[in-house]
Structures are given as C-alpha cells and as structure tokens.
Structure 1
Amino acid sequence: MLSRLPVIAITVGEPAGIGPEISLLAAWDLRSQIRPVLIGDAAYLAMLAQDLDKNIRLMAISQQALRNNGLPGCGRDQITVIDCPLAAHVVAGQLDPRNGRAVLATLDSAIECIQQGWCDAMVTAPLQKSTINDAGVAFTGHTEYLAQQTKTPQVVMMLACEASAHLPQPLRVALATTHLPLRAVPDAIQFDHLLTSLQIIHDDLQVKFGIAKPKIYVAGLNPHAGENGYLGQEEIDVINPVILHARGLGMDVHGAFPADTLFQQKYLKDADCVLAMYHDQGLSVLKHASFGLGVNITLGLPLIRTSVDHGTALDLAKLGTGLADAGSMKVAIRIAAEMVARQHAATNSATRHH
C-alpha cells in the first residue's frame, strides 16, 4: 500500500454541465481517503463551492507555480485547484466554444501532473466533444485523446461497476471498437487489433485489478455469433481465430458467444471481463446494470485514468446547483485509488524480487 494518500488529479470537464459540481462534491466527500487535486477554472470553482457547501475550502495554484515548485502541501480539509482559466463567462446549460481549448488544457495538465510525479492517477468529469470541435480542435473523445497525448498506439475502453444488491459481483465490459459509426465496425475488427486488445485487458486486469488469472469472455459481432457463417463471417474469419491464438499465449479467453445470451448471470459469474465488439453492444447492458454508478476506465495507457459513465447533463445543470448525483464520480475516484495501490504494490513486489 502507499505510505501516503493517493493523489488524484480530477479534471472538472465541461463547465456548463454538471462536471464541476460533481467533481467538487466527490473530492470534498472523499478527502479523507485521497488527496484530490481539481483541475479547472479556480474562480468558477470557488463560486460554485460557495453555492454547494460553504465548508468547502479551496487553495488555487497557477500552472506556472506548479511547474516551478511542484504540488504544494495541503491540509485534509482543503482541496488544491490547479487553475486552467476559461476564456468566457459560464452560463449553466449553455455551451460556449470559446471555452473548448481551456477544457482540453485540463487534460494536458492532468497528464503532466502524472508524468512529473505530482499525481498518481487522473479522473475525468464529462466534457462536450462538440464544444472542443467547435473551438477548432479535432476531438473524438477522452480515450482517443489520452492515447494520442501519451503516444500509446492502442488502448481499450472498459466500463465497470461494483457489486451491489442488484449485481452479485463486479461487472466489467471492454470494447473492441469505440466511437465508430455502426457500418464501420466490421472492417475495424482485425486480427492484430483484437489480439492486442485482449492482451491489454489481460495485463491490466492482473496489474491494476489484482486478478492473477483473468477470465475473459468475448461476444460475437453478429446475431447468434454468426450462426456458423449463415449470419456473418467475422466470427469464423477473425474473432474465433484470435481467441484460439490468445489461449495459445496463455490467456484464459472464451467465445465467441452470442451477445444476446452472454450477459446472463450463469455466464457473468465466471467472467472477470467481457469483450464486446462495439460500443452499444456492451455499454447498454452495463449502464442498465450499474444503476448510474458505472465507471469508465482506459486500459493500456502508461497512467491510470477513470471517469464517470454519464454525460454533461446540460439540462440538469441549467436547473441550478444541488441536483446532480456525484455517485459515479465517487466510484471512479475510489477505483482509481485502488488501482494506484495495486500498481504500487506490484511495483514494490517486482523490485524486491530483483
């Protein structure tokens, strides 16, 4: 375990949405378990904190001060804010492309914090992709941007939820493809890409989740997993050969299963992760099962990144503060902290054995 609290960088997301609110609430509630470092517009966050809870205390530092001196010390009842100033005044519920680049700057700052050793992991509040694109920056999502900025050739998007009264064990669903039009999915399912996805899932389940021998179930692409070729060839040509190859490499991988029957308790009770072929195939099930407490995790990065499983909720933000549920953000922060502890333990163990 870490000898100190894990330091978690939290990017507050789209300022006109619920991201800043849930970031503040979750950081304040979990301040005894982690050291939260919020990254966003310090003045706006201070104003919002006063509306939410007058006990919330923030300590702002500039990017330059951070680079000159590192992260300053901070008491348990105070949250550090790395100031990424916005270009325009925030109107709750109303997107403003003038703030798009400032939102992107929070991600760059979080990456820098981890690379410099100031923070142990990053948790991201939801942002609005259209705002960043309207600001003149091509942007498809957190997952792709973090891969690009860390020069990671391939990452895997996984959503997870903890066990609950409704769910006997944790559910983890990874995606072979992410933000693609449905007609582009079959062409994107290629042997090397799918095999690498399985390897990333296997390795991160071991190191970041502490699962010694992960069992991975794979969904087919087509109805009935292709029905022996009558409903599609992808299972025969790509998916099943990849599964066989992965098993030959020592991975415990099973499939391809028909997606309409795979997500049942009799299968899920034995699976540490399910690999779905496309976005809605896997995430519709997980979001239904998680009851709003799902967490988005990017596997394969040289850093730990988790996020909420919901969007910016502009309509809710427009109604005022105090209405947003920070539950998913709290789970995202807790899971990030657990991953930090496991990774630290694995690193220490490897050092001792050398």
Structure 2
Amino acid sequence: MSDNLAIRKIIHIDMDAFYASVEQRDHPELRGKPVAVGGSRSRGVVAAASYEARKYGVRSAMPSVIAYRKCPQLTFVKPRFDVYKEVSQVIRSIFLNYTDLVEPLSLDEAYLDVTNNKLGLPSATLIAQEIRQKIFDATQLTCSAGISINKFLAKTASDINKPNGMKLIKPEEAVAFIETLNIKDFFGVGKVTTEKMKRMGIHNGLDLKRKSLGFLTKNFGKSGAYYFNICRGIDNRPVNPNRIRKSVSIENTYDHDLTDIAEVHTELHVLSHELEKRLSTNSILGKTVNIKIKYADFEQVTRSKTIQQWLGKHEEYAPIWLEITKDKDLMNRPIRLLGLGLSNLNTEDKEDKGWQLTLEF
C-alpha cells in the first residue's frame, strides 16, 4: 500500500433504485413490475428505473421511446420529487446520528466519514449495517453500502453487491482490488474515456498504473493526475458536509418539438425566471451562462458564454442566452428539450486537503 494513501473510514450509501422503489412502496400494484419514473411512452426521458425494468436494459437518462421499445410492459409514473425529498430528509437524519461529516451527492446517495463517529463505534462495517437497517425500518426501502479508506473506493464498493448489499474494501486489500478492477468500473472514467483507454491497452487498474503521469496528462488533460492517483488508491478528497455547488440549472422536455425561434425564446424566458428563483433562494451568482439543447433525434449540444460581472437576475443573463441562440446552426432543427443554467459561481472554493491516519476497520 502506498505511503501516500490516506486512510480514513468512509461509507458510501446508495439507495436502491430510489425513485422507482418509493413508487413501488407507495403503490403495491407496481411491486415486482418494470417501472420507469418520468417520461411517457412517446416523450421524455427516464429519471429512474426499477430493477425489474433494468433487466430489460432500461436505464435512467434513456429516452422514453427507447425504454418502451426495450420493455413494452413498462409502466411510466410521474415523479413526485416532494415525496422523494421528504424520504431523503429522513435518511439524512439517520446519517447525522453517527457523524456530522455527511456529503450528499443527490437525494439518494451520500458519503459519510465515520473515522471519529458520534457513538464512538470502532467498526465502520457495523455502522454501515446499522444505518442500512435503520433506513429500512424508517422507510421500508433498501440501500447498498461501500466501506473503505477513501471516497473513490467506498463509492466503487457500494456498486459491487447491489441491490441491498454491502462491500468492505480493507486497507490492505485496496491496491490489489484496484489493480484487477475493470477500467469501465472506475468512478470518473466515462464510456468515451473507457473506449479511448482500451485502444491504448488500458483494460484494468494495473494497466493504468503502468502509465506515467506525463502520458496520462498528455492524453487526458487535467484528468490525467486523477487517473494516476486513483489507480494507486490515492484519493485525499475530504467528505465535505458543505459541498460546493458548481452550477445551477433547470431544464424541460416538451410535449411537442419546438420549431420556431420565437417559441424557443418564450420557453427560455420561462426557464430564465425559474432559474432566477433558484439562484435567489441561496444568494447564488454566476458568470457563465449555459444552454443545453436536445433535438428531436436525441442529439444533444451545449453552448456557454462567460462574462466578467456577476449574474443573478433574469434581465442580466437573458441578453446572453439571446445572443447564443442567434447561431442559426443551433436553431435549425426541431428541439425536444431546453436547459438553462449558470456556472462559474460565487460559491466555488478550493477543496480542502486530505489527511493521513492509520486505523482498524
């Protein structure tokens, strides 16, 4: 194990098919059946899929028409984000019984640092078992857990025995585990990068470890240093209970394709006012305006423009997205989805450095 390997007790909790499981819990007639939350047979995108639906290849972010083609018996359910948020708050309150170092990644997953936990429990594995049981008792929902020495390994571990499972990667097992891990299973290595790495002969962690920092930086830019470290088990990112938000956005999928620029501008004005509400709630400002467009053929593009002054109100950033949409090549096809957002925010800050400890699991 590398001397630079920061050893902490990190748990990653991931709810199992969260949105779909909540719907199956609240609607007994859906239990045991393939369910998609979001979209419809003809429009939209799947927000979440039950495990029964996943057996047919249905996945989140998949266009609904493709999901229905894969699974004609699929039941589409409208999302109830207010309910999901309430359940998420119950789950978070359970986490906080053990540690204040809780970093939510979304409504259904979070990192916990239990190195020095509130109950003084010596075993992170036992803490994870307790948490999973308490979540089930409180919500009748299952979750999976990964336990290890850092965030990368904990998150990777939580996927291994899903659903309703748990995996511990001990400190002395970390290096061997990573060396045999398929490159497609590395968190932070997407599908395109996976294919690129395979063309370079990188198929697992050991292959990646054999590449120099210079090679990885040359071929993968800023991500090269991340890949160089994680294949050695080095991930010093702290669990941050005040996780810095790097963007705020809102989007909508439409019942009919938008084919007229005036209609596009009308919808962007609607999104713009909704975005302002989200920004003002948390006193967030940004300098980069982002537009996301998904066409009728499902091709997706993004455009952005950065200026020097802070933006927070509709009238301040509307002229910028109006300028972006003057691009005729951008507006020359039917549009099914529009997204609008701000990044380069006033909330961004530098990450804290990690620390090194020696502990028992």
TM-score where L is the length of structure 2: 0.27
The structure with the greater share of residues assigned to strand is 2
Which structure ranks higher in relative contact order (CA pairs < 8 Å, sequence separation ≥ 6)? Answer: 1
